[in-house]
Structure 1
């Protein structure tokens, strides 16, 4: 019990910190692509599988696939509103868009394969819905304190979902696992501390990363019904890493660093 709690307290914050520093090294598009990787949702689903059972986690993984569209809605709304408004109004618009997409999906009855296919098709078109992302601009300062805030946000979500998942049910647990914590925190801090164009580039970069996320959740939802937790997660992670590696190789080199 205490070992599992310790893992919750350390794994997700550490992964978020790693993504943050990688983004600062390689730029907005890479940061976005990495942020969409199942850094938060993956561990949440792992803990849910251990605590609530494999069938519960499989259904939660399918719901998580449906939540990808909500994250894209968040990114599109934030990106457009941020062109003329503050980070706070941009964030509010993003969350409203997320909820506007997610609420109908609660009633949608689809298999994991159907959810994955629909999401992949949507992702292939989503980049066209964002405003044009300008080249990265150098940051005049990157407060280290923002890394701690990002880590704390991820930790709070992991604890909330895993503690209340039994009462939420698998669908709500899966949808909540993909609440745009990474997108919100990364976009706001990038918007405030670097620039609005950098934040837009980061959010647009998440579109490609969600291909790997979708693959992860689909493999997980498929295998958890017949394989062990360990095998299911290892295979899902391997599939996501392959997709992510291909996408990262296609990323253009950034003109500058930030995030």
Structure 2
């Protein structure tokens, strides 16, 4: 389990960094919203704490998905005039406030899913409007290893805490935007605030798949067991991810079809 934590996330960081350089921050944000960190964390929780614990954690994650959006909105508005570390503080405060509000009176799974989808639909209107005007600069030496180390450290910390604080807190911590935090901070430092804002805005599109994944895991685990539940959740998340990509990035889809 420890090896999985230490190897998987740095590998994902590398792949997302390469995607950022190839397709830009909006597509990278969309990819980041997919449960590439939360999925392994929930699987580890299921294997170590049992299906019932992981089911409750997944449904709590679904309930507070919009806290992830609150992080992105707070960071993005702060990035227009503040340094990255104050933006990180603002984003974390936004996440905490959103998680507290959403978990104050938790909803049953279906209403929670409906509220989350409605919030994701409206969320893009809350981000500042920015346009990329400069090409991505050459990365600094050692930046990629630093991203990998930061990602591994963050997911190890979240997983460690989640296993010890019960399904309620586990679910909330699973939603904490580990990957988008790492990528946004390094993008802010490396390419400027506009790049970070575009990346965080793109995350919203990927959170539809995240929500579908958490919903299916939470509902299916008590009935189907670990392997079948996570496979079904992955299939559903990938299907939702494909649909949102076609809707949000039709130009890329059209260019790939012409090749």
Structure-1-length-normalised TM-score: 0.90
| Contact kept in structure 1, 2:147 and 2:183, CA below 8 Å | yes
Q: How many angstroms apart in 1 are the aligned matches of 2:68 and 2:197?
A: 14
Instruction: Name the structure 2 match of 1:257.
Output: none
Q: Which residue of 1 aligns with 2:109?
A: 112
Does 2:126 correspond to 1:129?
yes
How many angstroms does 1:136 deviate by? 5.6
Instruction: Quickly say closer, same or farther: Cα 1:128–1:173, change in 2 above 3 A.
Output: same
Determine which of 79, 82, 94 is the counterpart of 2:79. Answer: 82
Structure with a larger share of its residues in helix: 2
Note closer, same or farther for the CA distance 1:148–1:236 as it changes in structure 2 (3 Å cut): same
In the alignment, is the contact (CA less than 8 A) between 1:16 and 1:39 conserved in 2? no
The corresponding residue for 2:147 is 150
Query: Which runs of 5 or more structure 1 residues have no equivalent in the other structure?
Result: 255-259
The corresponding residue for 1:139 is 136
Classify the secondary structure of the residue corresponding to 2:34: coil
Q: CA deviation at 1:15?
A: 1.9
Shift of 1:93: 1.0
> What SS is found at the alignment partner of 2:206?
helix
Residue number in structure 1 paired with 2:256: none
Tell me if structure 1 keeps the 8 A contact 2:147–2:186. Answer: no
Q: CA deviation at 1:252?
A: 5.2
Structure 2 unmatched ranges of 5 or more: 253-259
Give runs of aligned pairs for residues 47-126 of structure 1, distance below 5 A. 47-126=44-123
C-alpha deviation, 1:114, in angstroms: 2.1
Q: Aligned pair in 2 of structure 1 residues 161, 184: CA closer, same or farther (>3 Å)?
A: closer
